[in-house]
Amino acid sequence: MLGAMSADRPVEAAREEAIDAIRSGYTFTEPAIDVGVLSVDDEPVPDARIRIPLAMLNRHGLISGATGTGKTITLQVLAEQIARAGVPVFAADIKGDLSGMATAAEPTEKLLARTAKNGQDWRPAASAVEFYALGGQGKGTPLRATISSFGPILLSKVLELNETQESSLGLVFHFADQAGLPLLDLQDLVAVLKYLDSDEGKPVLKQIGGLSSQTVGVILRSIVNLEQQGAGVFFGEPEFDTNDLLRTTADGRGVVSMLELPNVQDRPALFSTFLMWLLADLYHDLPEVGDADRPKLVFFFDEAHLLFSGASKAFVQQITQTVRLIRSKGVGVFFVTQTPKDVPGDVLAQLGSRIAHQLRAHTPDDAKALKATVNTFPRSSYDLAELLTQLGIGQAVVTVMDPDGVPTPVAWTRVFAPESKMGPTDAAQQDRMIAASPMMARYGRQINRDSAYEMLARKLAQGAENAQSTTSAHNADRTNGMPLVSAGVQPKQSQPKQSQAKAPSKSSKAQKSVIEQVADSSAFKQFARSAGREVVRSIFGTARRR
């Protein structure tokens, strides 16, 4: 299956020639990590290492294959070696298996026989692992982001809004920014939306333009649905500083930051979009480094199809932009999914390394996925359509970028075994590691500072008080200064607080509210004139408040 065999020369000579071509294609003078060894006729060639140059990791990559074919093990092998080379790693632990990276593997007779056959210098070793959990749901230091820094584009994906509603949400974010109303959690966003749809806020709503009460209602219902899924805990403070993903140990190893994602099927959009927020925030913070000899961080995006499912055109465009531009910040991104068809073509075009495990072709859709996978590889002497359906577990077809940016020869590869445990780390050990983590001390306790909800509540309360004072003074004047009760007039029943809050305050002419000052400002009027344009808050609409 390897090399073009000629009838007028020995098969063995052609075989050796093909092996030499692949061996030389993966021989680099620059630092590199090992994926595995070349396989010929299902037998390993130990001296033909299949490698990825460290400098090319920020050209991104794709790990694909059917369920149960070894994608997670490949991710684990790459993450171990990248961290050992001094580069921090971030990985989402979808199934809970990756937590085993914190524990050295137990050598078994079968494992030792396999590694010896492959020529792998294997010895058990654990990686330096930091465990995280979104909002504390799961085992690990809680990760949170504020609504404001999450931004309207990412949040629209989570709320499953259409493009018109997404644009309207962008206007709401801009209004909150200009009015000095911090959006820290979902409660803050709900408060601003309700204010804009109230009698007091509707004049501001008109000046913004392009935002109807019906749209406000749709967004509010989507937020309620999100809260019912328990997603409210993901938003708030202390907000995670993505620079904490760039940590190394005292002995120079990269820290593996591992995000546990339990019950991902219940909130797929939120989980995947939160990971994209991490990338967008890193892009916002990191300086340009150009073509460095090694990346600052390698990011593994497991179950990548969740990110693109139902995504708007604007969202996919932003992902494409992020993947294209973040390379110059020294960040590499590997998408892990079942087939290349799960990833939009514009994103797929940015992925330099391809590692494809076995694919199945039992249905017409499977056949399309197989064809799509074959088309992502350079030309080779392999019959890839046949080979990809016959690969064993732990085997893959590989091509990467060499240091000159040229694709390496396609290689049938036997992937190395990880040196850490293949399976979850012991629960008690994991608990001890989390409790002792400096990250838990920094992010473990949630805080709730003054923000849009509290500010608007005070504004409404003040409006109600002003309205009551104005009404009392007016009635006193009508009775020549006599109290209403003394004059024999029964006072009106107090209106509910909400109705009072909507009453206009006559004293507001003397001292304008923050909202009115913003509405009258030239900056706000300029925004109102261009409300139909895209709201730009940096890449992905994110804007961390520091």
For 234-244, the pLDDT digits (tens) are 899 999 999 99
Provide the edge-to-edge strand list for the sheet that holds 395-399: 43-53, 32-40, 411-415, 395-399, 353-356, 61-64, 331-337, 297-302, 89-93, 256-260, 129-134, 141-143
- 14-144+237-443 CATH: 3.40.50.300
What is the maximum alpha-carbon separation in the chain?
122
The rounded distance, in Å, linking the Cα atoms of 322 and 412 is: 31
Averaged confidence pLDDT in the chain:
83
The rounded distance, in Å, linking the Cα atoms of 411 and 39 is: 8
358 has pLDDT over 80: yes
The rounded distance, in Å, linking the Cα atoms of 454 and 373 is: 53
Mean pLDDT for 14-19 is 86
203 has pLDDT over 90: no
Q: Which two tokens stand for residue 511?
A: 């001292």
420 has pLDDT over 70: yes
386 has pLDDT over 90: yes
**Boundaries of every domain in the chain:** 14-144+237-443
More confident residue, 92 or 6: 92
Nearest to 457 by CA among 97, 248, 144, 192: 192
For 208-212, 260-264, 267-271, which range has the lowest pLDDT when averaged over its residues? 208-212
- Within a 10 A sphere around the Cβ of 204, how many other Cβ atoms? 20
User: In which residue are the tokens 């137990």 written?
Assistant: 106
- 163 to 144, 147, 160, 312, 524: CA distances (angstroms): 26, 19, 10, 7, 23
pLDDT for 70 equals 92
User: 3-state DSSP call for residue 161?
Assistant: coil
Nearest to 191 by CA among 506, 501, 537, 509: 501
What's the distance, CA 277 to chain centroid?
Answer: 5
Nearest to 277 by CA among 164, 107, 151: 151
Q: Could you report how far apart the first and last alpha carbons of the chain are, in Å?
A: 58
pLDDT for 363 equals 87
pLDDT > 90 fraction of the chain, expressed in percent and rounded: 53
What is the residue type of 81? Q
545 has pLDDT over 60: no
What's the distance, CA 283 to chain centroid?
Answer: 12
Q: Spell 419-429 as b/e; 16+ CB within 10 A means b.
A: bbbbebbeeee
The rounded distance, in Å, linking the Cα atoms of 54 and 51 is: 9
For 444-478, write each residue's pLDDT tens digit: 999 989 999 999 888 877 766 776 666 655 555 55
The rounded distance, in Å, linking the Cα atoms of 415 and 393 is: 9
pLDDT for 158 equals 87
pLDDT > 70 fraction of the chain, expressed in percent and rounded: 82
pLDDT category of residue 299 using cuts at 50, 70 and 90: very high
pLDDT for 491 equals 40
The rounded distance, in Å, linking the Cα atoms of 41 and 32 is: 26
User: In which residue are the tokens 């909150």 written?
Assistant: 176
Mean pLDDT for 519-539 is 41
544 has pLDDT over 90: no
pLDDT category of residue 419 using cuts at 50, 70 and 90: very high
pLDDT category of residue 263 using cuts at 50, 70 and 90: confident
Mean pLDDT for 179-205 is 89
Mean pLDDT for 261-268 is 74
- Within a 10 A sphere around the Cβ of 203, how many other Cβ atoms? 12
Mean pLDDT for 470-487 is 49
pLDDT for 487 equals 34
- Within a 10 A sphere around the Cβ of 507, how many other Cβ atoms? 10
pLDDT for 511 equals 45
534 has pLDDT over 90: no
Cα torsion angle, 387, 388, 393, 396, sign: positive
